[in-house]
Amino acid sequence: MLRVVPLISVILVSGVAIAAAAEPQAGDDLAICRDRQADAQARTTACENLLNADRVTGKDKAVALSVRGNNLINKRDNLHAIETLSMGVDLDPDNAIILNLRGIAYERTGQDDLAMADFNLALQKRPTYGVPYNNRGVIQLRRNALQSALDDFSLSIKYTPKFILGWTNRARVRTLMKDYDGALADFAEAEKIDPTAPQIASNRCITYGLMGKFDQAFADCNGIIEKQPKNTGAINNRADVSMMKGDLDAALKDYNAALQINPNNIRAHSGRGQVYERKKDLGQARADYRSAAYSLTKFDELDVARARTIAQERLAALTPQTPGAAPSGRRVALVIGNGAYKNVHALPNPPRDSKMIASVLKDVGFQTVISVSDLTRDKFFDALKTFAEEAEKADWAVVYYAGHGFEIGGVNYLVPVDAKLAVDRDAETQAVALEQVIAAVGAARKVRLVILDACRDNPFAPTMQHTLSLKLVDKGFSNIEPGAGFMVVYAAKHGETAIDGDNGADSPFSTALAREIKVPKVEIRKLFDIVRDDVWSATKHEQQPFSYGSPPGREDFYFVAGK
């Protein structure tokens, strides 16, 4: 079992930052934008000034677009990055830096073939450019083409010998190839470049663990954790080493610690599932594997992708296969209304809307309806865990959520009432990733439905600090692609916000949903089409619900079957 800190596809537009000079004048913008050794922020400002004033053309405009594209990638706005960098390629087709950047953006949208094409073209234009070799090697490693990855990382080192990621990435490949001495030699070279780089000890921890040198392994991981107590990557690595040693209790303790820091952590759920499986607690193992198995995005970092694959394989192995078994007809629902937010303005409607939906579901015959309001982060995850156990025994599993929800960095989150979200990246640890809600319904045999009346304005946006690594979307959720057999319904389509009811009235979406659920003989897919039309009409074309995915296609499903 080898799950380590993510390999990094590298973005290099600006080189080593230098001390900022005096405040630049407007006439200096072109010189600063061209200067790859300039201060990164000064260069960004200069390039944006040129682009916004339309004061640059040709290859100089391509350079400015490359800087803009680089920043978009850092914000995880990869689709706009591709659009921006493609304009740069049109202006300067021989610019290897722009081609490399666009390759990274393609990779991060799950388009590895297009990424490889761009990396190859960048290297054709400039064969001694070390960075695209590294980035191509990352994709080769994701494809498990270890020798090709090793060759690419070696070329990256050859042409850019001071590039630390080339050394650490090659060390990781050598670890996978069981060339442990070679891996340790590469880590030693990396230390000569930057002895403080945390990825050296964190990755070497795994290498030592696989060598059976557990004292050295724990020393490396512990050193990182002592300096960075909330570094979940290092905590997961230490847990992995404990698993290698056979110390399941120590591994469990670390996976639990990682999940206490970040309950959405895929690696920790996958690893903990393996611990529970070895302990013969198969129900808990399945629950953790489900929490790691379901993805709504096309791209995962390498360590997350591996953890997800393990979870998917083990979940399939542990899920009882009962073809031809009679359906139980059991239908269960979890209904959540979060309104009493502690750090932003309260929402009066969600608790009321959720109680109305819970009542309707009971009326139409759902055997179990868990109705809860104003959940903190920990209580939210507890409710999902409890509900997942009910879903395992059901044909239908439905989650309805009303409250704050939005997209940050391409990930959709539901917001507990105790979230502070002072910084956009806090969503990873303080909010509930939509994937975890998908996982909660995942065990149901037939209908797996998530309904989100949560596409409201982001109230944290005015005060939330924006980081370079995350993109903040102030309105609604992003597009998703749920797996086969799942249906996710948004109260408002991507980029729009849902409307609350006026003067104490229920929201237009919950009103339409509650009404249509009770109508007999309306198939579930058609039902949500009707809800969409009703809301569109009631809001005078201001709000349009949207559905993603579908229940299994060989059967019709009805909230009320009729006679």
Predicted confidence pLDDT, tens digits, the chain (563 residues): 333 334 445 543 333 232 333 344 445 899 999 999 999 999 999 999 999 999 999 999 999 999 999 999 998 889 999 999 999 999 999 999 999 999 999 999 999 999 999 999 999 999 999 999 999 999 999 999 999 999 999 999 999 999 999 999 999 999 999 999 999 999 999 999 999 999 999 999 999 999 999 999 999 999 999 999 999 999 999 999 999 999 999 999 999 999 999 999 999 999 999 999 999 999 999 999 999 998 887 788 889 999 999 999 999 999 876 544 445 689 999 999 999 999 988 898 999 999 999 999 999 999 999 999 999 999 999 999 999 999 999 999 999 999 998 888 778 899 999 999 888 888 889 999 999 999 999 989 999 999 999 866 677 878 888 763 343 444 455 566 666 789 999 998 776 666 766 555 678 999 999 999 999 999 999 999 999 999 999 989 888 999 988 888 788 999 998 76
Tokens encoding 426: 């806090």
pLDDT value of residue 501: 60
Give yes or no for a contact between 440 and 450, defined as CB atoms under 8 angstroms apart. Answer: no
Question: Alpha-carbon distance 547 to 486, whole Å?
Answer: 10
pLDDT value of residue 169: 96
User: What are the two backbone dihedrals, phi and then psi, of residue 502, each rounded to the nearest 5 degrees?
Assistant: -90, 145
Question: Partners of 190 in the beta sheet?
Answer: none
**Helix, strand and coil percent figures for the chain, each rounded to 5:** 55, 10, 35
> 3-class SS at 338?
coil
Query: Which is nearest to 449 in space by CA: 346, 531, 507?
Result: 531
pLDDT value of residue 270: 98
Helices marked H in 212-295 — which ranges? 214-227, 232-245, 248-261, 266-278, 282-293
Predicted TM-score (pTM) of this structure = 0.84
Tokens encoding 514: 């509650």
Question: Alpha-carbon distance 398 to 376, whole Å?
Answer: 21
CB neighbour list of residue 236: distance below 8 Å, 6 or more residues apart? 3, 254, 255, 258, 265, 267, 268, 271
Residue with tokens 């996710």: 488
Give yes or no for a contact between 243 and 251, defined as CB atoms under 8 angstroms apart. Answer: yes
> 3-class SS at 465?
strand
Give yes or no for a contact between 126 and 159, defined as CB atoms under 8 angstroms apart. Answer: no
pLDDT value of residue 479: 60
Residue with tokens 């557990």: 214
pLDDT value of residue 478: 57
Question: Partners of 332 in the beta sheet?
Answer: 368, 397
β-strand 396-402 against 447-453: which pairing, if any? parallel
Q: Which helix (H) or strand (E) covers residue 396, if one does?
A: strand 396-402
pLDDT value of residue 24: 42
Give yes or no for a contact between 104 and 84, defined as CB atoms under 8 angstroms apart. Answer: no
CA distances in angstroms from 495 to 238, 346, 437, 455, listed in the order given: 40, 22, 21, 8
pLDDT value of residue 4: 37
- Rg (C-alpha) for the chain, rounded Å, is 25
Question: Alpha-carbon distance 430 to 416, whole Å?
Answer: 8
Query: Which is nearest to 301 in space by CA: 274, 269, 265?
Result: 265
pLDDT value of residue 466: 75
Residue 11 backbone zone (phi > 0: left; psi -120 to 50: alpha; other: beta): beta
